[in-house]
Structure 1
Amino acid sequence: MKFKNIVPTLLLIVSTTASAATLEGKAIRVIDGDTIVVLSEAHHKYRVRLANIDCPEKRQPWGNKAKRATSKLVGNKPVVVEWQ
């Protein structure tokens, strides 16, 4: 009976810890309007999907314009990613 109470608590602790993680690096590539590649300070590449952003994909109408707009904002610039 006590085990049922422990599991939700552990899941809450794990999810809280995961949401607090950050990644600092440089946006080295923009894949499309809502996906970028970040090079960390430890030289690892991470593909990052931007939360709460809905852009057209590359081959959809306005896809190239969305990619260019994201490139202007973060392309080859330092970024801090907060995981959700």
Structure 2
Amino acid sequence: MRHFFNVLSFAVALLPATLCAAQIQGKVIRVLDGDTIEVKTLPAKIVVYEVPIRVRLINIDAPEKKQPFGRWSTNQLKALLAGQSVTVSYTQTDRSGESWDEW
């Protein structure tokens, strides 16, 4: 029984590392602002439903829409990513529960 708990503890300790390595593929369906997009996932083994996922781009600090250059930064990201197929690598979640990702 003790061996079981040791193995279980080890598996739980490795869980965050496996979550950090998670990747999804999808298509950019909406650009919300200069550092946030929505991606519609493609069918995969781990994702059963094609649901939009909100993705905040890591290491990007773009102005919000109502700030100076906010609309410009949103339009630049739209020109770059709108309708594009992307692979998103999950990296972390912030205090509000939103994920910060790389693409």
TM-score normalised per structure 1: 0.84
Shift of 1:14: 1.5
Residue-by-residue CA offset, 1:44-79 (whole Å, 9 max, x unaligned):
110111111100001110001110111111111101
The letter of the residue matching 2:33 is D
Matched, 1:61 2:63: no
User: Given the alignment of the two structures, is residue 74 of structure 1 paired with residue 76 of structure 2, yes or no?
Assistant: no
Could you list the runs of 5+ residues in structure 2 that have no partner in the other structure? 44-49, 92-103
| SS of alignment partner, residue 76 of structure 1 | coil
Which of 12, 19, 27 is the equivalent residue of 1:10? 12
Structure 1 spans left out of the alignment, 5+ residues: none
- Let me know the Cα RMSD of the aligned residues: 1.8
Higher RCO structure (Cα 8 Å, ≥6 apart)? 1
4+ residue segments displaced more than 4 Å: 6-9
The residue aligned with 1:30 is 31
Provide the rounded CA distance (Å) in 2 between the counterparts of 1:7 and 1:52: 33
- Identity rate of aligned residues, in percent? 39
Greater per-residue helix proportion: 1
Question: What CA distance in whole angstroms lies between the structure 2 residues aligned with 1:9 and 1:17?
Answer: 10
Aligned to 1:52: 59
Aligned-pair distance for 1:10?
Answer: 3.0
Letter in 2 for 1:37: E
